[in-house]
């Protein structure tokens, strides 16, 4: 019996794996197991505690269930700062993708004509390459809503307090362009690595990745942020179309256990926002205990007001937030509130309760995707706090010294080297390890600015990052070798061309096409190159397309395979090189 049970469990785990499913879907056995698995999932969902809970949170829970079971379609954003963004949008249109009608942010957002992860053939190869090179970002549609509600503007300093994996961070970057700053924070080291990878993939100059517990985030810059995004950890009860595990694992007690953490993170977000600034609190949960109850506590503190979110997001299929909700036990049935759980209960204050209607709820069936919640809050001046009550900080007795691994502004010697090699030195260049990083003037001003700690009692002078723990910033513009400038990084070449001249060589289109097809032409092909010149160069075609190469006796491309795939597709070449063919 035990052997049969283990075998059954092993088969079940195998076919939970989408790759295994697709590999076997073509055979009769595969189809049989997949159909059995689908029936099992549906029975599990139909008998789930979550479905019972939803029946207490809204009418017509059957309609919600019908829109919460099938797998999600693939959705993505197009990076408006990519030089090929118009080509990308044209390609998406050609393969049958449709624009998401309510998306109002920078760039555009699209729904693909297939489920997540099921692209095949050339479509899969091009889409993967577009994502890998930062020209598009795969992101669930409802996950795009918080940044639209935050509505960041170029030049602003924004904090993404729970940033990993980074899709919202890169969306903020697209609003800022090559100005402003978005401080992207993550506390868990493994997730920090994912965040850095996605920021580098996107290639924004305005991002700064830091690692802190969001509940204790330092107030840097000292005057606060213009906007803070707080997409807190949650139970994910709105993600059943993406995470089928939720059907069996979700319990009301999970939301209650997260409530205090969620509120503490939101409270800190409010503390580091400047007066008049905007805070967006969001979850992918449907549970009012994680949503309206958290917002009600923040409103009760009297430091923020709720802004009508649905007015800021016209066209989004949504409902107002709720001001009343039941207590549920872990079987999904009605229960009684514990008097010690006052913070989880609906607010008794009528003013607070009325503001909860300004929150926004998205149900899976209404939007045809995931469930979501967000609240847009505006920080208001505290009554009775005037200029005379502002604390004058004293210099901190602690010496804050940045670790050697922190990015630092480049030296005068490096500036002179760039001016010699490139013709000029772009502003806000930084050095970290073997890389030169290109950021924005606003990021430089954060580094230069004074900041306080211990609730404003101690002053920490600028000219450093501490107490911020900075992991990465900006766009990697160049690599160093043995302390000297080695090569320009391909992702930075298009924007660097507007600032410097040194590494760029104008060539005919056929030269770039031949290299992309797999040839490595002799250096004599580059007529503008001097006899003794070697090293990194950027070839520029008549249409402005840039290709990073290394010039020795031969001309060798210095770009990733994904970059080559995109460049071939854009230029109408076969996406596979002749060597691969």
Cβ atoms of residues 317 and 350 within 8 Å: no
Return the structure tokens found at 124: 């899969």
First-residue to last-residue Cα distance in the chain: 53
DSSP state of 340: G
Determine the Cα angle at 282 with ends 264 and 313, to 5°: 145
**What average pLDDT does this structure show over 70-83?**
96
CB atoms within 10 A of CB 157: 26
**What average pLDDT does this structure show over 562-575?**
96
pLDDT of residue 542: 93
Strand 98-99 versus strand 108-115 pairing type: antiparallel
Q: What pLDDT band is residue 79 in, cutting at 50, 70 and 90?
A: very high
The answer to which of 23-27, 392-396, 454-458 has the lowest mean pLDDT is 23-27
When computed from its CA atoms, the radius of gyration of the chain, rounded to whole angstroms, is: 26
**What average pLDDT does this structure show over 428-441?**
97
pLDDT tens, position by position, 272-287: 999 999 999 999 999 9
pLDDT tens, position by position, 330-356: 999 999 999 999 999 999 999 999 999
pLDDT of residue 12: 34
Residue 259 has pLDDT above 70, yes or no: yes
Return the structure tokens found at 271: 């503390």
pLDDT tens, position by position, 204-242: 999 999 999 999 999 899 889 999 999 999 999 999 999
Catalytic choice (284, 327, 359, 546):
284
**Integer Cα distance of 246 and 45 in angstroms:** 9
Residue 23 has pLDDT above 60, yes or no: no
Distance of CA 548 to the CA centre of its chain: 27
The sign of the CA dihedral 502, 507, 512, 515 is negative
CB atoms within 10 A of CB 246: 20
pLDDT of residue 256: 97
Angstrom distances, CA of residue 357 to CA of 147, 199, 282, 330, 374: 20, 35, 15, 27, 11
**Integer Cα distance of 445 and 206 in angstroms:** 12
Residue 559 has pLDDT above 90, yes or no: yes
Task: List helix spans (H) across 203-333.
Answer: 245-249, 252-271, 292-300, 309-312
Give the CATH class of 141-379.
Answer: alpha beta
| Annotation says 234 is catalytic | no
Return the structure tokens found at 317: 């299929």
Q: What percent of the chain has pLDDT over 70?
A: 91
CATH number for the domain formed by residue range(s) 503-570:
2.30.130.10
Average pLDDT along the chain:
91
**Integer Cα distance of 157 and 160 in angstroms:** 10
**Integer Cα distance of 337 and 344 in angstroms:** 8
Cβ atoms of residues 184 and 196 within 8 Å: no
Cβ atoms of residues 220 and 482 within 8 Å: no
Give the CATH class of 73-138.
Answer: alpha beta
pLDDT tens, position by position, 31-40: 555 555 666 6
pLDDT of residue 580: 47
Q: What is the largest CA-CA distance in the chain?
A: 85
Residue 8 has pLDDT above 70, yes or no: no
Bigger pLDDT: 213 or 454? 213
DSSP notation for 118-184: ---HHHHHHHHHHHHTTSEEE--GGGGHHHHHH---TT-EEEETT-TT-HHHHHHHHHH-SSSEEEE
pLDDT of residue 32: 57
In the chain, where are the structural domains located?
A: 2-66, 73-138, 141-379, 394-481, 503-570
Burial class (CB in 10 A: 0-12, 13-18, 19+), 261: middle
Q: What pLDDT band is residue 86 in, cutting at 50, 70 and 90?
A: very high
Residue 455 has pLDDT above 70, yes or no: yes
Residue 152 has pLDDT above 70, yes or no: yes
For 496, left (φ over 0), alpha (ψ -120 to 50), or beta?
alpha
Nearest in space to 63 (alpha carbons), one of 375, 371, 372, 325: 371
Q: What pLDDT band is residue 524 in, cutting at 50, 70 and 90?
A: confident
Backbone angles phi, psi at 232, to 5 degrees: -80, 160
pLDDT of residue 397: 81
**What average pLDDT does this structure show over 288-295?**
98
Burial class (CB in 10 A: 0-12, 13-18, 19+), 336: exposed
């Amino acid at each position: 019996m035990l052997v049969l049970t283990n075998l059954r469990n092993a088969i079940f785990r195998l076919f939970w794996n989408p790759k295994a499913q697709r590999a076997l879907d073509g055979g009769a056995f595969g189809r049989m197991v997949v159909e059995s698995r689908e029936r099992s999932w549906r029975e599990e969902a139909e008998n789930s505690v979550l479905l019972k809970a939803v029946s207490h949170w809204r009418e017509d829970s059957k309609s919600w269930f019908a829109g919460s079971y099938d797998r999600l379609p693939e959705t993505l954003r197009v990076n408006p700062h990519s030089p090929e963004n118009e080509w990308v949008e044209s390609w998406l249109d050609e393969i049958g993708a449709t624009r998401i009608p309510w998306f109002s942010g920078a760039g555009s957002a699209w729904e693909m004509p297939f489920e997540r992860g099921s692209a095949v053939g050339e479509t899969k190869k091009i889409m993967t390459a577009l994502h890998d090179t930062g020209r598009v970002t795969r992101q669930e549609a409802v996950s795009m809503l918080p940044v639209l509600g935050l509505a960041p503007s170029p030049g602003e300093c924004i904090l993404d307090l729970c940033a990993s994996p980074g899709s919202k961070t890169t969306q903020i970057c697209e609003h800022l362009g090559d100005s402003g700053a978005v401080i992207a924070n993550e506390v868990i080291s493994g997730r920090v690595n994912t965040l850095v990878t996605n920021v580098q993939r996107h290639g924004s100059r305005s991002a700064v990745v830091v690692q802190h517990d969001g509940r204790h985030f330092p107030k840097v810059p000292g005057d606060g942020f213009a906007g803070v995004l707080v997409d807190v950890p949650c139970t994910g009860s709105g993600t059943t179309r993406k995470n089928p595990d939720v059907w069996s694992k979700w319990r009301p007690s999970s939301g209650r256990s997260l409530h205090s953490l969620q509120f503490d993170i939101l409270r800190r977000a409010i503390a580091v926002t400047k007066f008049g600034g905007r805070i967006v609190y969001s979850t992918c949960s449907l549970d009012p205990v994680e949503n309206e109850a958290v917002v009600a506590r923040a409103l009760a503190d009297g430091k923020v007001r709720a802004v009508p979110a649905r007015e800021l997001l016209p066209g989004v299929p949504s409902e107002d937030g709720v001001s009343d909700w039941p207590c549920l036990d872990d079987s999904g049935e009605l229960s009684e509130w514990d008097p010690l759980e006052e913070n989880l209960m609906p607010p008794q204050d009528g003013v607070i309760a009325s503001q909860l209607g300004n929150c926004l709820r998205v149900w899976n069936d209404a939007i045809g995707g995931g469930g979501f919640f967000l609240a847009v809050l505006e920080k208001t001046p505290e009554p009775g706090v005037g200029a005379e009550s502002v604390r004058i900080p004293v210099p901190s007795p602690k010496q804050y010294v940045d670790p050697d691994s922190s990015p630092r502004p480049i030296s005068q010697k490096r500036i002179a080297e760039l001016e010699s090699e490139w013709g000029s030195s772009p502003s806000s260049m930084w050095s970290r390890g073997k890389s030169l990083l290109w950021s924005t003037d606003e990021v430089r001003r954060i580094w230069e600015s004074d900041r306080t700690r211990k609730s404003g009692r101690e002053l920490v002078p600028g000219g450093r990052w501490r107490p911020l723990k900075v992991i990465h910033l900006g766009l990697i513009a160049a690599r160093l070798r043995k302390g000297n400038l080695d090569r320009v990084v391909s992702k930075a070449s298009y924007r660097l061309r507007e600032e410097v001249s040194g590494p760029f060589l104008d060539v005919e289109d056929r030269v770039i096409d031949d290299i992309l097809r797999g040839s490595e032409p002799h250096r004599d092909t580059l007529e503008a190159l001097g006899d003794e010149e070697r090293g990194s160069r950027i070839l520029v075609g008549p249409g402005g397309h840039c290709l990073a190469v290394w010039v020795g006796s031969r001309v060798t491309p210095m770009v990733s395979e994904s970059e080559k795939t995109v460049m071939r597709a854009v230029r109408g070449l076969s996406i596979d090189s002749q060597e691969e063919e």
